[in-house]
Amino acid sequence: MRKMDSYDIARLAGVSRKTVQRVLNNAASVKPATRDKVLRVMQEHHYEPNSAARQLSSRKANTMGLFIVQDKPLYTLHTDDLFYGPIIGAIISRCAELGYTTLVSVLDLSDIESLFSMYRQKSIDGGFIVSWSDLRPVIDRMAVAGFKVGLFDEGFYHAPEVPIPHLDNRRSARDAARYLLELGHRDIGILTGDMNNFTAQERLKGYTEALRERGIEPAESRICYGQFTEEDGVRAVERWLAAGDLPKALLCSNDLMAYGALKALSGRGVSVPDDISVVGFDDLLVSQYTYPPLTTMKVPRVDMAVHVADCLVALVEEREPPAPEQFVASLTERQSCAPARPARGDRQIGH
Amino acid sequence: MRKMDSYDIARLAGVSRKTVQRVLNNAASVKPATRDKVLRVMQEHHYEPNSAARQLSSRKANTMGLFIVQDKPLYTLHTDDLFYGPIIGAIISRCAELGYTTLVSVLDLSDIESLFSMYRQKSIDGGFIVSWSDLRPVIDRMAVAGFKVGLFDEGFYHAPEVPIPHLDNRRSARDAARYLLELGHRDIGILTGDMNNFTAQERLKGYTEALRERGIEPAESRICYGQFTEEDGVRAVERWLAAGDLPKALLCSNDLMAYGALKALSGRGVSVPDDISVVGFDDLLVSQYTYPPLTTMKVPRVDMAVHVADCLVALVEEREPPAPEQFVASLTERQSCAPARPARGDRQIGH
DNA sequence: CTGAAAGCGCTTACAG
DNA sequence: CTGAAAGCGCTTACAG
pLDDT in tens, B137-187: 999 999 999 999 999 988 887 777 899 999 999 999 999 999 999 999 999
Residue nearest to nucleotide C11 (CA to C1'): B57
Separation of B188 CA and C11 C1' (Å)? 64
Per-residue model confidence (pLDDT) at position A349: 46
Q: Which of A138-147, A334-343, B66-75, B185-194 has the highest mean pLDDT?
A: B185-194
Of A51, A56, A266, the CB nearest to B53: A56
**pLDDT band (50, 70, 90) for residue B190:** very high
Evaluate if residue A204 carries a pLDDT over 60: yes
Distance separating alpha carbons of residues A340 and B5, to the nearest angstrom: 71
Per-residue model confidence (pLDDT) at position A1: 40
Evaluate if residue B309 carries a pLDDT over 50: yes
**pLDDT band (50, 70, 90) for residue B102:** very high
Evaluate if residue A324 carries a pLDDT over 70: yes
Mean pLDDT of B201-206: 98
Per-residue model confidence (pLDDT) at position A119: 97
The whole-angstrom distance between A27's CA and the closest CA on chain B is 20
Inspect the interface and report whether the beta carbons of B96 and A105 lie closer than 8 Å. Answer: yes
Per-residue model confidence (pLDDT) at position B1: 41
CA B15 to chain centre: 48
Evaluate if residue A217 carries a pLDDT over 50: yes
**Nearest nucleotide to A59 by CA–C1' distance?**
C8
Decide which of A109 and A244 is more confident.
A244
Per-residue model confidence (pLDDT) at position B32: 77
Mean pLDDT of B185-193: 98
Q: What is the DSSP string of B69-127?
A: EE--SS----TT-TTTHHHHHHHHHHHHHTT-EEEEEEEEGGGTHHHHHHHHTT--SEE
Mean pLDDT of B194-218: 97
- Count how many residues are written for chain A: 351
Evaluate if residue B206 carries a pLDDT over 70: yes
pLDDT tens, position by position, A265-297: 999 999 999 999 999 999 999 999 999 999 999
In B, which residues are within 8 Å of A266 by CB distance?
A: 291
Residue nearest to nucleotide D8 (CA to C1'): B57
Decide which of B25 and B121 is more confident.
B121
Mean pLDDT of A313-337: 96
What's the CA dihedral at B265, B203, B307, B106 to 10 degrees?
-60
Distance separating alpha carbons of residues A73 and A194, to the nearest angstrom: 13
Inspect the interface and report whether the beta carbons of B80 and A88 lie closer than 8 Å. Answer: yes
* B37 burial type by CB count under 10 A (0-12 exposed, 13-18 middle, 19+ buried): middle
pLDDT tens, position by position, A326-340: 999 999 999 999 999
- For residue A251, give every residue at least 6 positions away whose Cβ sits within 8 Å of its Cβ, in sequence order, or none: A173, A176, A177, A180, A188, A189, A190, A191, A207, A279, A281
HEC letters along A143-157: HHHCCCEECCCCCCC
The answer to whether B191 and B257 have CB atoms below 8 angstroms apart is yes
Percent of chain A whose predicted confidence (pLDDT) is above 70: 93
Per-residue model confidence (pLDDT) at position A153: 83
Query: If you average pLDDT over every residue of chain B, what do you get?
Result: 91
**pLDDT band (50, 70, 90) for residue A18:** confident
Query: If you average pLDDT over every residue of chain A, what do you get?
Result: 91
One-letter amino acid at A255 equals: D
Beta strands B101-108; A101-108: pairing state: antiparallel
Mean pLDDT of A21-43: 78
Q: B300-303, long-range: CB within 8 Å, 24+ apart, which pairs?
A: B300/B167, B300/B327, B300/B328, B300/B329, B300/B330, B301/B83, B301/B86, B301/B87, B301/B90, B302/B86, B302/B87, B302/B90, B303/B327
Cα angle vertex B261, ends B257, B267, to 5°? 145
Lowest mean pLDDT across A32-46, A104-118, B92-106, B157-171: A32-46
pTM passes above 0.85: yes
Of residues 53 to 82 in chain B, which lie within 7 A of strand D by their beta carbon? 53, 56-57, 59
Percent of chain B whose predicted confidence (pLDDT) is above 90: 73
Distance separating alpha carbons of residues B289 and A97, to the nearest angstrom: 36
The answer to whether B7 and B17 have CB atoms below 8 angstroms apart is yes
Decide which of B68 and A7 is more confident.
B68
Q: B317-325, long-range: CB within 8 Å, 24+ apart, which pairs?
A: B321/B163, B324/B166, B325/B165, B325/B166
Whether the beta carbon of B36 falls within 7 A of nucleic chain C: the reply is no
- If DSSP codes are grouped into helix, strand and coil, which group holds residue B322? coil
Distance separating alpha carbons of residues B165 and B181, to the nearest angstrom: 29
Distance separating alpha carbons of residues A249 and A246, to the nearest angstrom: 9
Per-residue model confidence (pLDDT) at position B343: 61
**pLDDT band (50, 70, 90) for residue B348:** very low
Per-residue model confidence (pLDDT) at position A348: 46
Separation of B18 CA and D5 C1' (Å)? 14
Evaluate if residue A258 carries a pLDDT over 70: yes
pLDDT tens, position by position, A141-195: 999 999 999 999 888 877 778 999 999 999 999 999 999 999 999 999 999 999 9
Radius of gyration in angstroms for the set of CA atoms belonging to chain A, rounded to a whole number: 26
Evaluate if residue B344 carries a pLDDT over 60: no
